[in-house]
Amino acid sequence: MHETHHACRWLWTLAVSAICLGCQPSPEVRPDPTPRRAPAQAMGAHAPSIIHSAPWGSDPGQFGHLLPTEGAPEGPMSLTTNAQGELFVLDQVNARVQVLSPEGAFLRSIPIPSTTVQDLVVTGLGEVVLLDRLAEPGLIFIDDQGKLRARVKVVGHGVAEGGAITALVEHEGAIWVEVDRAMTVRIADWQAVADPDRISVDGRPSRKGGAAWQVRLRDGAVRLRGQPRTGTAMRRSLSFALPVMRLSTLDTDETGNVFVSAHLAKESEQPPFAVTEDKDVLSVFNAKGDPLGSVELESSTGPEEQFRAMTVARDGTVYHLQCTVEGTVLRRWRP
């Protein structure tokens, strides 16, 4: 994993490959009179850097993996950041969350009460909220020492089953879940008080506010839709040279930029139709839905399942955790 021949090939492109507009702008939308820089200037053309690598294990800074004879292999399921930019990696195999500095240095470990959780967020109080989608669907609130504070069920109005949840979201002092990448449902506040109304919005709210975003895979193309609180929706369609196998990430930063990642793969034309090429592509848009650029990287080479291998910090810094046979590599890209 941490050897150079397993490292990602990152390629900065000035614009998302073959992006086309899904619809013409509304007559109400007028061009921005502010001069714009070229995408390379706006997003940065430098390559991402490795900030942490380690073999599989249970020591501080290492991450666990499972390779069962039956069932799906598991690696670290998810990662997120707090307001200070520290990185929280869900090492559920070792029943802990590991906290790293923005430079990738190990800081501390937080024990967790479950090994079946798949996602996490950090509240404004500095506490961790874990998501169990499948075993006992619910939110698990723990303090910064790992002490269990509360459990809140997620199945109910707006969430038919835990398996439909595609992301855990912290927004405006509350914990929300994204359902089928179509809508986001408010489950509880930071104090673990369940929302009796379970308010929902179409799409995923932007950190900047003012719009909610949806991303869907339809007819082999990635469809991005932004709905402002007032006015006409913004629609974009992304096409790639390789078939899109699945959508991986939809996120925003505090400036309103939108980040969408997709897993691409090509199979051989002859049985057993083995994968001959695969990679992940992260595409970036501004708050108006205009394309800014993309980053292209190779996928994990190990078999381990990950729920969310990429996260975007508030300032737009992107972290990506890759699994291979040997271990894990964490990369950081600052636009």
The token pair at 259 is 């980040």
**Cis peptide bond prior to 272, omega within 30° of 0:** yes
Please list the residues that pair with 185 across neighbouring strands.
177, 200
Q: Is 80 exceeded by the pLDDT of residue 104?
A: yes
Asked if residue 79 lies in contact with residue 90, where contact means CB atoms within 8 angstroms, the answer is: yes
Please tell me the distance from the alpha carbon of residue 256 to that of residue 174, in angstroms, as a whole number.
Answer: 19
Query: Taking residues 120-139, what's their average pLDDT?
Result: 97
Q: Is 80 exceeded by the pLDDT of residue 161?
A: yes
Q: Give per-residue pLDDT as tens, 9-37.
A: 443 343 333 333 333 333 333 333 333 33
Name the 3-class secondary structure at 5.
helix
Record the pTM: 0.84
What is the model's pLDDT at position 31?
35
Name the 3-class secondary structure at 235.
strand
Please spell the DSSP secondary structure of 107-166, one letter per residue. EEEEE-S-SS--EEEE-TTS-EEEEESSSS-EEEEE-TT--EEEEEE--BTTBS-GGGEE
Q: Is 90 exceeded by the pLDDT of residue 45?
A: no
What is the model's pLDDT at position 148?
98
Q: How many residues does the chain have?
A: 335
Chain mean pLDDT for the chain: 86
Please tell me the distance from the alpha carbon of residue 202 to that of residue 190, in angstroms, as a whole number.
Answer: 22
What is the model's pLDDT at position 314?
95
Query: Taking residues 208-215, what's their average pLDDT?
Result: 90
Task: Please indicate whether residue 220 or residue 298 has the higher confidence score (pLDDT).
Answer: 220
Q: Which residue has the tokens 């990185």?
A: 87
Torsion of CA 120, 124, 126, 128, to 10 degrees: -20
Asked if residue 81 lies in contact with residue 311, where contact means CB atoms within 8 angstroms, the answer is: yes
Ranked by mean pLDDT, which of 6-10, 32-36, 304-308 comes out on top? 304-308
pLDDT band at 156 (very low <50, low <70, confident <90, very high): very high
Asked if residue 212 lies in contact with residue 203, where contact means CB atoms within 8 angstroms, the answer is: yes
Q: Report long-range pairs for 203-207 (Cβ below 8 Å, ≥24 apart).
A: 203/227, 204/167, 204/169, 204/178, 204/250, 204/252, 205/169, 205/171, 205/172, 205/176, 206/252, 206/256, 206/258, 206/287, 207/171, 207/252, 207/253, 207/254, 207/256, 207/314
Domain boundaries, the chain: 1-47+206-299
Name the 3-class secondary structure at 42.
helix
pLDDT band at 41 (very low <50, low <70, confident <90, very high): very low
Please list the residues that pair with 321 across neighbouring strands.
330
Please tell me the distance from the alpha carbon of residue 135 to that of residue 317, in angstroms, as a whole number.
Answer: 32
Share of the chain above pLDDT 70, in %: 86
Q: Is 90 exceeded by the pLDDT of residue 206?
A: yes
Q: Give per-residue pLDDT as tens, 46-55.
A: 778 999 999 9
Q: Give per-residue pLDDT as tens, 230-277.
A: 888 999 999 888 999 989 899 999 999 999 999 999 999 888 888 888
Q: Is 80 exceeded by the pLDDT of residue 80?
A: yes
Q: Is 90 exceeded by the pLDDT of residue 123?
A: yes
